[in-house]
Amino acid sequence: MKSKLYKVLHTVCGKPMVQHVVDRMNDLVVDEIVVIVGHGAEQVKEQLGTAVQYGFQDKQLGTAHAVMMSKDFLQDKTGTTIVVSGDTPLISEKTLRNLMDQHENTQSAATVLTVVAADPAGYGRIVRTSKGLVERIVEHKDATMEEREISEVSTGIFCFDNQLLFQALSEVKNDNVQGEYYLPDVIEIMRKQNHLISAYRTNDVEDGMGVNDKVQLAAVEKLLRARVNNQHMINGVTLIDPDSTFIDTDVVIGADTVVHPGSFLRGNTRIGESCVIGPHTDLLDCEVQSEVKIQYSRVTNSLIGQSIGD
């Protein structure tokens, strides 16, 4: 990211990327969340607090090594483990739930979330058998020219049978171009042990988008803002120009409120019904009562009600 700020703490729609991911886990009502941290650990802990547990990856030795850092918390548990990268803020509850349902309904050892990418460069390719079953995942740098022609790719998001996961992790080797322990290698290990491997292919390609630079960060921000704005409009809010209206994910807006261009509604702002906001208004952590008009204003941490005579 070429930044002093730890990657997963870069914000998208007013919230750090890792917080978006943790929030989706909470939407699923999982029993336990373990966040693997390394460089920037204290900053991540300050953001997420005590709502999650932390495993520490001292050396960056790959994704399988990262998951192993949750061993002390999870290795003796039974059930389904979901592995999600902290830089995928667009992942939705719907997609995660569909992935988990596919995994548990098929009683698979592992299930990978896949998409068909217009440009698969850089992503792990899904190699299937002649019967269409998942055989292995090949990282781009290790793929043959033929394998690089495959357009179905891994998002890096998985469901695992927890016991089988930790058994397979102990067998992962680092004999690859990067010299790292790849989590996708668990797939091939499990398959060689005759365990069922499945895939859930989502049509929501953007759900699995990761962020590795400021260009991708801006792209993800734009996509998530469009989702947020669309949901407000579906709920009865009028956005005169959605493309020039910026609303954070936790903002609440009542029906029949009109938001004019150039408005920024940020943080935990709450707006009542039948209001007029903007143009060019910036509200941060404000509560706005119903039937209030605010124009050309910047307001922070305030309760805004109707003035006498309104």
- CATH code at 70? 3.90.550.10
Specify whether 173 is located in the same domain as 241: no
Q: Among 200, 162, 142, 157, which residue's Cα sits nearest to residue 31?
A: 162
What number is the average pLDDT over the span 121-146? 92
Q: Which is it for strands 270-271 and 287-288: parallel, antiparallel or unpaired? A: parallel
Burial of 197-225, coded b for 16+ CB within 10 Å and e otherwise, reads bbbbebeeebbbbbbeeeeebeebbebbb
pLDDT of 299 over the 90 cut: yes
Residue length of the chain: 310
Specify whether 21 is located in the same domain as 162: yes
pLDDT of 309 over the 80 cut: no
Please provide the average confidence, as pLDDT, over all residues in the chain.
95
Packing angle, helices 41-48 and 17-28, rounded to 10: 50
Specify whether 204 is located in the same domain as 241: no
As beta bridge partners, residue 308 has none
Packing angle, helices 93-105 and 17-28, rounded to 10: 50
Tens digits of per-residue pLDDT, 56-115?
999 999 999 999 999 999 999 999 999 999 999 999 999 999 999 999 999 999 999 999
Cis peptide before 242 (omega within 30 of 0): no
In a domain, 170, yes or no: yes
Task: Name the strand (E) or helix (H) holding 19.
Answer: helix 17-28
Whether 34 contacts 83, CB under 8 Å: no
What number is the average pLDDT over the span 162-183? 95
Q: So what's the pLDDT on residue 308?
A: 56
In a domain, 159, yes or no: yes
- Which residues, including other chains, have CB under 8 Å from residue 189's CB and lie 6 or more apart? 168, 171, 172
pLDDT of 310 over the 70 cut: no
Reduce the secondary structure of 23-83 to three states and give it as a string: HHHHHHCCCCCEEEEECEHHHHHHHHHHHCEEEECCCCCCHHHHHHCCHHHHCCCCCEEEE
Residue type, 204: D
Specify whether 191 is located in the same domain as 256: no
* pTM for this prediction: 0.94
Tens digits of per-residue pLDDT, 54-69?
999 999 999 999 999 9
178: left (phi over 0), alpha (psi -120 to 50) or beta: alpha
- Which residues, including other chains, have CB under 8 Å from residue 294's CB and lie 6 or more apart? 275, 276, 277, 278, 281, 283, 288, 304
Q: So what's the pLDDT on residue 214?
A: 97
Specify whether 12 is located in the same domain as 121: yes
Domain that holds residue 278: 235-304
CATH number at residue 299: 2.160.10.10
Tens digits of per-residue pLDDT, 176-202?
888 999 999 999 999 999 999 999 999
Specify whether 184 is located in the same domain as 255: no
| Residue 205 backbone dihedrals phi, psi, to 5 degrees | -55, -35
Specify whether 160 is located in the same domain as 239: no
Specify whether 156 is located in the same domain as 94: yes
Whether 249 contacts 243, CB under 8 Å: no
Specify whether 187 is located in the same domain as 264: no
Distances (CA, A) of 306 to 122, 212, 258, 298: 54, 45, 16, 17
Distances (CA, A) of 226 to 45, 220, 223, 239, 241: 29, 10, 5, 11, 11
What number is the average pLDDT over the span 18-30? 97
In a domain, 220, yes or no: no
pLDDT of 53 over the 60 cut: yes
| Residue 82 backbone dihedrals phi, psi, to 5 degrees | -105, 130
Tens digits of per-residue pLDDT, 238-291?
999 999 999 999 999 999 999 999 999 999 999 999 999 999 999 999 999 999
Specify whether 165 is located in the same domain as 275: no
Overall number of domains in the chain: 2
- Which residues, including other chains, have CB under 8 Å from residue 243's CB and lie 6 or more apart? none
Q: So what's the pLDDT on residue 133?
A: 87
What is the residue-wise DSSP string for 215-246? HHHHHHHHHHHHHHHHHHHHTT-EES-GGGEE
Reduce the secondary structure of 161-177 to three states and give it as a string: EHHHHHHHHCCCCCCCC
Q: Let me know how many helices (H) and strands (E) the chain has, helices first.
A: 8, 22
